[in-house]
Structures are given as C-alpha cells and as structure tokens.
Amino acid sequence: MNSLVVPSSHRSIMLMASVGFASLMALGLLSLSSSQGSSSSSKRRTSRRKQSKRRPKVHLRGLYNLGNTCFLNSTLQSLASLSSFNLYVEQCVELLSEGNGDSVDAGIVIQLKEVLDQLEPYDSRVKALSPRNLISSLSYKGQWIASRNEQDAQELFQMLSSTLQAVARKADGSLLGVLNTNQPIGNSFISTNQQQHQTADDRQNKDRRSSNAAPENPLLGMAASRTACVRCGYIEAIRHSTFDNLSLTVPRAHITTIEECLAMYTAMDRLDDFCCRHCSIVATLARIKRDLAEHKAHLAKSDWPSKKTKRIVAQLSEQQHMLEEALANNPEAELKGIELSRPPPSTSTRQTMIARPPKILALHLSRSIYLPTGGTAKNPACVQLERLLDISPFTTTGHISTIASAPISGPSLSASRYPKESLAEVRRRNCLYRLNAVVVHSGAHDSGHFYAYRRIETDPDADPLLGSSDQWFMISDTSAVEVPLDTVLGAGNGYLVFYERI
Ligand SMILES: [Zn+2]
C-alpha cells in the first residue's frame, strides 16, 4: 500500500495515487544536485570519484511493482541489506527442512529467502525480479494483501517478523519461545521476578535441547518500564517486554533528529489521576483501624456483647494484620476479602527504556496525526538520521533506579558526538549501531509511494566506524541509483529505519 499505518478504527477510505517514477527520479536527482552545490561538496565529489575508481561497480536487482506493492519492494530491499537478518532467515529455512513450521508459514519463509538471495549485489547488470511467489504465499495468511490498498510497510515487516518467530518457536518449544513472542511494548509485561524464573528455566531448556536450539532472532530486544507514585515513592514491579521494532512518535517540528525521537520515546512522563496500590493499602488500613477502634469501644461499653460484634472485631483485626504485612513485605500480595479504599488520585511517573539492545534496531517513525475532525494526516517533519547511532542514553545501562522522581537509569556514559576514543566503549556496551537501510514514504498520509535507501558493503574487512567502504543506493521498485550518504541522512522522510549493531 501507499498509505501510512492507521489503527483500523481510524482508517478512512484510502486513495491510490502513486507518485510517478519520474517524480521520484527527480527527487533523487534533486538531492544529488543539492549536495553538489558548495565547494566543499565539490571536494567530496572528487574524493568520491577517486573512491569509485577503486571500488568494484555494484549493481542491485530491482523488484517489479505488481500493483501498489512498493511497500513490499522497499521493505524487502531494506531487509536484504541486514546481514544478521539474512542469516536468521537462512537458519529458519534449515529448521523447516527438519519438519518444523506449518505450511503457510513455511511457504512465506521459503519464498522470502528466495527473494532475499536474489537481492544480493551483483557485479553486472541484472534484470528486475517479480516477487509474485512471495506475494502469493503471503496471501494465504488471512486477509492480508487481499486488499492491497490497505497495506503498509510496517505491517508487512511485523508480519514477516512474527512468521519467522513462529517457525523458530516451533523448533524451540520452550519457555524461551513464549518469552520471545513479538509483542509490542506495553502489551505483555513480565515482572522482574517472573523474568528471573523464566531465565533460569530457559537455561535448563537450553541445556536440554542444545543440539536443536532455535536461531537467535536479531530483531529481538527487551524493554524495561517502570511506574512510580510520586506521593509515596512506591514503584510497581519493573516490567520487561520484548520488541522487534520500536514505534517512535515523530515530534511536530519542521526538523528533528532520530535521537530526539528516541529521547521522546524514553522520556519520563508524569501522569495525573494515578491510583497507587501502596496508597490504597495505606488508606484502607486507616479505615480499618478506625472501624476496629469503634467496634472495640462498643464491646468495652457493652455488658452483654453480641457474637456478631465479637466476630467483626476478630475479622477487622485479621485484616489489619494482613494490610500491615503487605505494606511491610509485598504490596502486590493478594488481599483476600478486603475491599481496598480509593485514595485521592496522585501523580505517577512512567518511563520505558531499552534493557537489552537487539542486533538489529528497527525503528518505525510514526507520522500519523489525529485531527479534531476525526480524520488523520501525515506529520511531514524532517527526521535527520545519523550514520552511527549511540543508543546508550536510551538504555537502562544495567542499573535501574527505584526513586520515583528519578529516571530509570543513571546519566548516560556516552559522548553523543562520538569522540573516536569513546566509540570503543560504546561498542563494548552493545550500544553502537550503523545505519543500514531506510524505507521512505513520500506523499500524503493516505496516498504516496514507498522506496528504500540501502547500504552495500564493498569491503567486509573495512573498519565499520569509518564508513569508507559503504555504497548507498536509492531503490524504487525496478530502479536502483547510487546516492551519496548525505542524501540518505538528510532525506528526512524516513518511515522505517534499520540500524545494525557493530
Ligand atoms: Zn503511592
């Protein structure tokens, strides 16, 4: 499809108005010419010419558009550029040859590998490929692709990711598989305690099936989130959830950066109207103590105390004990038979951060704006990208703060502008990423065209920090044009951005 994803309740009738190929080419040429305007750019151009003399000429295979399938073509070109993703697909196909996976998933994974293999770089011109067989396999997956004008690059990405995960999970058949389900952040939380149990079980399961371990999903990362009450300081369990991509809200600005989008995602929110369990227990305990005192006074005054009053006093005393125990040891404990009072609403802080960085960091730049009229529009903000991305500021850095008003993790150790000596340290912490591909959406919210920028490695032994062996291509369906890195970083209209850890 050509539109950006909108929850189905907000979907309006989609218009199909693909931006013509000619205008896209014009876009590419415009970017090229604008970066060649200054004298410094002219020096860069000369040095690029020198580089290109040394480099082998690379050709990429395009994909035919089979009717609004640009979302599929651009996503496949991007995925093809990710070495750990290609390895993962290969491993999933091997699992299928051992009889794992149902036939629909198997068909998709096998066809996906067929296409990815053909999207490898060539040293001579190659004809474009028709992704017809993959589309046909995808069409078996429910109603997907049946109505192609409602498709979106992110939906396709998530569908391919969950299909691969289903194949890997079937081979795994362990708690690790359950833990690894591709759920978006916020949907399925596992408390820290549960997490510890599962990790121990994982280890046992891993030992049992060491000969048939599931391949590691390079897209899978883990997020940690924490909700804390500002009034009493109580912190609900730190919850962990897995993710295969992070959906980042793009700020409403003319120009922004990928780091700003990540900072917004991991920022600490303050929410009013929070009902804190600890405050509830405190309020309930106060109420029960009052009731108990009244009934005890009644008992003391009465010469012939009723059995009923005695029973109530015993019950309230037991409840007081349970509440005091809960406050002292575990406020989350079940409090059977006690109706909790609702304290006055308080303010809470809420924050989510990356607890385990994935090999491939897939970022979805959510550009949907919900209008007061009920419709949707596209946020056209220009999101500038970095070739190297240090995600340390957005991770828990292994230390989680339990102070309600403090961020989850301590201040980042990273130097955001990358002095060379700090990069090794960032890399050691698994926090340094290199841009590999971008799916771009041009046009309005409910119409337009998807195309991709894709990095090609011309020298596998080159230092990834320098980027001297990178070649970048803009690929729109059947056309692949080499572009300078500046065009990719400054294009601004990214929709899916793929970083791979180095
Ligand atoms: Zn509280």
What's the confidence (pLDDT) of residue 71? 92
pLDDT (tens digit, 9 = 90+) per residue, 296-345?
998 888 888 788 889 999 999 999 999 999 999 999 899 999 999 999 88
**Stretch 76-89: mean pLDDT:** 96
* Dihedral (Cα; 428, 433, 434, 435), 10-degree rounding: 180
- Provide, rounded to the nearest whole percent, the portion of the chain with pLDDT above 70: 73
Mean pLDDT of the chain: 78
What's the confidence (pLDDT) of residue 36? 35
| Ligand 1 center–CA 75 separation, angstroms | 45
256, β-bridge pairs: 383
Which among 269, 281, 375 is positioned nearest to 328, based on CA atoms? 281
pLDDT (tens digit, 9 = 90+) per residue, 243-253?
999 999 999 99
Question: 125: how many CB neighbours lie within 10 A of its CB?
Answer: 9
| Ligand 1 center–CA 279 separation, angstroms | 4
pLDDT at 502 over 50: yes
**What CA–CA distance (Å, rounded) separates 16 from 18?**
6
| Ligand 1 center–CA 197 separation, angstroms | 28
Instruction: Record the tokens describing residue 314, joined without a space.
Output: 């015993």
pLDDT at 197 over 60: no
Highest average pLDDT, of 96-110, 164-178, 195-209, 228-242, comes from 228-242
Question: 369: how many CB neighbours lie within 10 A of its CB?
Answer: 15
| Ligand 1 center–CA 281 separation, angstroms | 9
**What CA–CA distance (Å, rounded) separates 229 from 280?**
11
DSSP-assigned letters across all residues of 113-153? HHHHHHTS-BSS----B--HHHHHHHTTSTTTTTSGGG--H
| Ligand 1 center–CA 188 separation, angstroms | 23
**What CA–CA distance (Å, rounded) separates 88 from 40?**
42
Is residue 410 within 8 A of residue 399, CB to CB? The reply is yes
* Helix pair angle (103-118, 83-97), 10° resolution: 140
Which among 417, 441, 466 is positioned nearest to 154, based on CA atoms? 441
Instruction: Record the tokens describing residue 111, joined without a space.
Output: 């066809």
Task: List, in order, residues 6 or more apart from 395 with CB less than 8 Å away.
Answer: 353, 354, 355, 357, 409, 429, 431
Which among 398, 460, 399, 454 is positioned nearest to 430, based on CA atoms? 398
| Ligand 1 center–CA 264 separation, angstroms | 25
More confident residue, 466 or 314: 314
| Ligand 1 center–CA 383 separation, angstroms | 39
| Ligand 1 center–CA 403 separation, angstroms | 12
User: How many angstroms from the chain centroid is the CA of residue 148?
Assistant: 24
Give per-residue burial for 473-482: e unless 16+ CB within 10 Å, then b. Answer: bbbbbebbbb
| Ligand 1 center–CA 288 separation, angstroms | 18
| Ligand 1 center–CA 404 separation, angstroms | 10
| Ligand 1 center–CA 322 separation, angstroms | 18
Name the DSSP class of 465.
Answer: T
pLDDT band at 214 (very low <50, low <70, confident <90, very high): confident
Task: List, in order, residues 6 or more apart from 64 with CB less than 8 Å away.
Answer: 128, 129, 130, 131, 477, 478
| Ligand 1 center–CA 231 separation, angstroms | 5
| Ligand 1 center–CA 402 separation, angstroms | 13
94, β-bridge pairs: none
Is residue 88 within 8 A of residue 215, CB to CB? The reply is yes
**What CA–CA distance (Å, rounded) separates 146 from 148?**
6
User: β-strands 432-442, 346-356: how paired?
Assistant: unpaired
pLDDT at 24 over 60: no
| Ligand 1 center–CA 274 separation, angstroms | 9
Q: Lowest mean pLDDT: which of 73-87, 177-191, 374-388, 463-477?
A: 177-191
Residue 48, exposed/middle/buried by CB under 10 A (0-12, 13-18, 19+)? middle
More confident residue, 381 or 443: 381
| Ligand 1 center–CA 112 separation, angstroms | 50
**Stretch 11-18: mean pLDDT:** 32
**What CA–CA distance (Å, rounded) separates 259 from 486?**
17
What's the confidence (pLDDT) of residue 55? 66
pLDDT (tens digit, 9 = 90+) per residue, 386-398?
999 999 889 987 5
**What CA–CA distance (Å, rounded) separates 346 from 348?**
7
Is residue 79 within 8 A of residue 219, CB to CB? The reply is no
Query: What does pTM read for this prediction?
Result: 0.74
Measured CA to CA in angstroms, residue 268 lies from 264, 349, 353, 356 at distances of: 9, 6, 10, 19
pLDDT (tens digit, 9 = 90+) per residue, 353-373?
999 999 999 999 999 888 888
DSSP-assigned letters across all residues of 13-75? PPP--PPPHHHHHHHHHHHHHHTTSSHHHHHHHHHHHHHHHHSPP-B---B---SS-HHHHHH
